[in-house]
Amino acid sequence: MRMQQKLISEINKLAREIGRGVNLMEVCGTHTQAISRNGIRQILPENINLITGPGCPVCVSSQKDIDAIVSLALAGIPVATYGDVLRVAGRFGSLDDAREKGARVFGVYDVVEALALQKKYPNLVFFGLGFDTTTPMTAWAIKKGLMVYSSHKIFIPAMQALLDLGEVNIDGFIDPGHVSAIIGSKPYEILGVAQVITGFEAQDILEGILMLLAQIKDGRKEVENQYQRVVKKEGNRKARNLIFEVFEISDGNWRGFGKIPGSGLEIKKEFSHFDAKVKYKNILDKVDFSLSKEPLGCRCGEVVRGLILPKKCPMFGKKCTPENPIGPCMVSLEGACHNFFSSKN
Ligand code: SF4
């Protein structure tokens, strides 16, 4: 606690010395949770704004992918995915809604559970989503014979897209600890902005913020690593090799952004017999994805681009709550709306 107080007083000192508004963006759902849980936003000086970015994989899943996987479930294909995803609603409802209509839909903790389910349901499809952290596990499971609908994404292009869009002035990124454990620190260098790879304890996050403020004060634009106990400069080469053995890079479809070049991962031709988009093309071809639209009035797309805080959405805490979520930012435990609502910040 004494260490945290010292960090807060150093943050205050640097914030005074910088003397202007500073926008720091966290781009990891686990950071979103940790910042809310520890009340970090409230203890920062007024001129330091913590903005939430597109770090929650469920929140950035495209409406098209949600409609596609619900269509497969409604067509009688057994579907398994992470529990958070089941409540994300699309044009045909959510996977939970499909289950109520009799579809075989299963919430799983990981791909090992999905592989076990596949023994009972041989045509089971796993809806795979997430960033560089979860993709190696999906790649491993595909090699073991799991049929997958891939909504996996690569993270750095989304950070680049945020900078290119220029809608929010981002002075620095709190880089994601888990993603960095796989990709290492080098890929962030192309972004040319102050960044600190940061861990998930309150003290880690305060240290990361302090390191960012020191860079901003000095006019440095470096990639620093606060989370050295886990993240190595070279990352995890074995996990990266596994990803690119099974997946190839495509243009990923992100809620709030649309297509981001080079940010998606599709299953390679060699593994196409485990690609649900190939195997069930006949079902998916019948779906008119031009009608896949985000829920009416939901501003999740602006939330993940850091344009608004959840409270700016007129439905926040009224029509949209964790019990009755309208958009994925309220569904997911890592979503900004969910965390702002739960921590009342
Ligand atoms: Fe969408 Fe609900 Fe968040 Fe509003 S509060 S942006 S409706 S998820």
Of 344, 282, 310, 260, the C-alpha closest to 62 is: 260
216 sits in the region (left: phi over 0; alpha: psi -120 to 50; else beta) called: alpha
Pocket test residue of 305, 318, 319, 320 for ligand 1, highest count of atoms within 8 A of CB: 320
pLDDT confidence of residue 175? 96
Ligand 1 nearest-atom number relative to CA 329: 8
Distance from the CA of 316 to the center of ligand 1, in angstroms? 6
Element (H, E) at 162: helix 156-165
Delineate the domains of the chain, giving CATH numbers in brackets. Answer: 2-54+157-225 (3.40.50.11750), 58-154+264-291 (3.40.50.11740), 300-343 (no CATH)
Which residues of the chain carry a pLDDT beneath 70? Answer: 1, 344-345
**Dihedrals phi, psi of 319, to nearest 5 degrees:** -75, -25
Taking CB atoms and a 6 Å cutoff, what residues make up the pocket around ligand 1?
A: 298-300, 303, 310, 313, 315-316, 320, 326-327, 329-330, 337
Distance CA 203, CA 4 (A): 6
| CA angle (244, 258, 89) in 5-degree steps | 95
- Give 15-26 pLDDT, tens digit per residue: 999 999 999 999
| Torsion of the alpha carbons at 306, 307, 311 and 312, rounded to the nearest 10 | -170
Task: Note the pLDDT of residue 345.
Answer: 55
Spatial separation of the C-alpha atoms in residues 212 and 220, rounded to whole Å: 9
Assess contact for 154 and 265: CB atoms under 8 A: yes
pLDDT at 343: 82
CB-based contact 92:71 (threshold 8 Å): yes
The helix/strand/coil state of 17 is: helix
Q: Count of H helices and E strands in the chain?
A: 16, 11
In angstroms, rounded to a whole number, what is the distance separating the alpha carbons of residues 333 and 31? Answer: 11
pLDDT in tens, 227-267: 999 999 999 999 999 999 999 999 999 999 999 999 999 99
Tell me the CA–centroid distance for residue 252 and ligand 1, in Å. Answer: 22
pLDDT at 122: 96
Relative to the CA of 299, which ligand 1 atom is closest?
6
Q: How far apart are CA 108 and CA 149, in angstroms?
A: 15
Q: Where are the beta strands (DSSP E) in 171-211?
A: 172-175, 194-197
65, 253 in Cβ contact below 8 A?
Answer: yes
At 3 the pLDDT is 79
Residue 319 sits at the vertex; the CA angle it makes with 101 and 79, to the nearest 5 degrees, is 30
* Contact present, 68 and 77 (Cβ < 8 Å): no
Separation of CA 195 and ligand 1 centre (Å) = 28
Which atom of ligand 1 is the closest one to the Cα of 297? 7
For the CA of 341, the closest atom of ligand 1 is 5
Q: How many whole angstroms from 340 Cα to the centroid of ligand 1?
A: 11
Return the residue whose CA atom lies nearest to atom 5 of ligand 1. 316
- The pLDDT of residue 344 is 62
**Dist. CA 83 → ligand 1 center (Å):** 19
Residue 2, pLDDT score: 75
- How many A from CA of 254 to the centre of ligand 1? 16
In 3D space, the residue among 334, 28, 274, 10 whose CA is nearest the CA of residue 146 turns out to be 274
